[in-house]
Amino acid sequence: MRGIRTTAGTLLNLVRSWLHVDQIRISPLEGRLLSLQPGQRVLLREHIYVVDGPNITSSANRREIIFRLHSDEGPAYLTIQRTMDGKMCGTQLLNHLGNQEDIFDDDIDLLPSEGSSPSMEPKTMCVWS
């Protein structure tokens, strides 16, 4: 009986500590953007782009990741800005015409790579340091 009580107490402590730990939560848009991989196709504002790769930069008060994209119309750049405490503070697209546009949740769709099924897509995420 004592062993059951000890096990139950240990389980209760485990559940209690799990509930009180801060859990990472991000928006669906941020999750999609941070999971972009080179070669992946994205539909942004009715244009299909292919991701060339990310470039992460930091300044005194914010970090940003810039994805270089290309399409049949030309190159574009997708910039994700985050504060130093990790909160997303903006996403902009510098399109092939040189126009900068804010990107919102319904502006982006991830497309499967040509010749692959959606289940074969990479599942890794960009990690902020």
- Higher confidence at residue 37 or residue 117? 37
Give the chain's domain count.
1
pTM for the model stands at: 0.64
Task: Please check whether residue 5 lies inside any domain of the structure.
Answer: no
Cα 80 to chain centroid distance, Å, stands at 9
Task: Please check whether residue 43 lies inside any domain of the structure.
Answer: yes
Q: 108: pLDDT confidence band, cut at 50, 70 and 90? A: confident
Q: 124: pLDDT confidence band, cut at 50, 70 and 90? A: very low
* Structural domain for 111, as ranges: 28-120
The pLDDT tens digits for 3-14 are 888 888 888 888
What is the DSSP track for 13-71? Answer: HHHHHHHHS------HHHHHHHT--TT-EEEETTEEEEEEEEEEEE-SSEEEEEEEEEE
The pLDDT tens digits for 31-62 are 777 788 899 999 988 899 999 988 877 777 77
Task: Please check whether residue 1 lies inside any domain of the structure.
Answer: no
Residue 22 confidence (pLDDT): 58
- Higher confidence at residue 63 or residue 119? 63
Residue 129 confidence (pLDDT): 43
